[in-house]
Structure 1
Amino acid sequence: MKSIETIATVTKDGKITAQLPLDIPEGEHQVVIVIDEKPLLEKAERKDQKLPLKFSAYPVGLVSESLTFRREDLYAND
């Protein structure tokens, strides 16, 4: 069993079209569809036409444990 999250298009006559990964074999498959009641466009219109961005935490090592951001460390005395 494989879980796939994608965006699907639903037509007025109730047909659904979705893009799947290429590793899914051709043929009939049993699927489970969970659909949000509001289309993405309606959600975007409520949020100034923009969909929310998804960011994940990824440590890049720019801050060391010994580094502090005290005023004394950031600015000189002059």
Structure 2
Amino acid sequence: MKTIETIATVTKDGKITAQLPLDIPEGEHLVVIVIDEKPLTEEEHKKENKAPFKFPAYPVGLVSESLTFRREDLYAND
């Protein structure tokens, strides 16, 4: 079982079109659709189409800027 969150287009005649990941094999599948009662506004649609989980670098001062995470820095020679 796989959970996919995507934006779907609903036509006047009640048909739905959605983009799925390419790893879903073609054929008939049992699906469950949960739909908001109101369509997305143009602003919400633009917001939803942004790449998820894009975290900018933000220094919090927990490590020294000169510190690296090379193997030599993490492990002793013994």
Q: Please classify the TM superposition score into its range, dividing by the shorter chain length.
A: 0.5 to 0.7
Q: Distance in 1 between matches of 2:54 and 2:7?
A: 24
Instruction: Tell me the TM-score normalized by structure 1.
Output: 0.60
Equivalent residue for 1:16?
A: 16
**1:59 shift after superposition:** 8.4
Larger Rg: 1
Instruction: Tell me the TM-score normalized by structure 2.
Output: 0.60
Answer 1 or 2: higher relative contact order, Cα 8 Å, separation at least 6: 2
The share of aligned pairs that are identical, in percent, is 71
**1:60 shift after superposition:** 4.2
> What is the number of equivalent residue pairs in this alignment?
58
User: Unpaired runs of 5+ in structure 2?
Assistant: 63-78
User: Unpaired runs of 5+ in structure 1?
Assistant: 45-49, 66-78
Please list the CA deviations of residues 30-72 of structure 1 after superposition, one character each: whole Å capped at 9, or x if unmatched: 000000001002xx5xxxxx2257875958461225xxxxxxx
Equivalent residue for 1:62?
A: 59
